[in-house]
Amino acid sequence: MLEILPDVEKTWFFLGIAYEKTGQYEKAIEAYQEYVELNRADAEVLNSLGIAYTKAGKITEAIKVFAEVLWDEPYRPELWTNLANAYEV
């Protein structure tokens, strides 16, 4: 994986987005997980992690992530939509 300063947390998020856009879902998951280790409370990144899990076919993990973030952010419709999408796969 690309060498990144581990304390530059948003870099991990943007790297995850780049990997996801190019269809490299496993690498996207790794990048998002690195960010989550540094900043657990970011709903946007957890949502992206759940989407990457869904695209990678890791439905159980996706559902866990969406359920976890929905516990703290129940009024975000995109999270409910992404959870429903994971169940439909």
3-state secondary structure of 18: helix
Half-sphere exposure of 70 (CA within 13 A, CB side): 15
Q: Tell me the domains of the chain and their CATH numbers.
A: 9-88 (1.25.40.10)
Q: List the chain pLDDT tens, one digit each, 89 residues.
A: 456 565 577 889 999 999 999 999 999 999 999 999 887 768 999 999 999 999 999 999 999 999 999 999 999 999 999 999 999 98
Amino acid at 66: F
3-state secondary structure of 29: helix
What are residue 78's phi and psi, to 5 degrees?
A: -65, -30
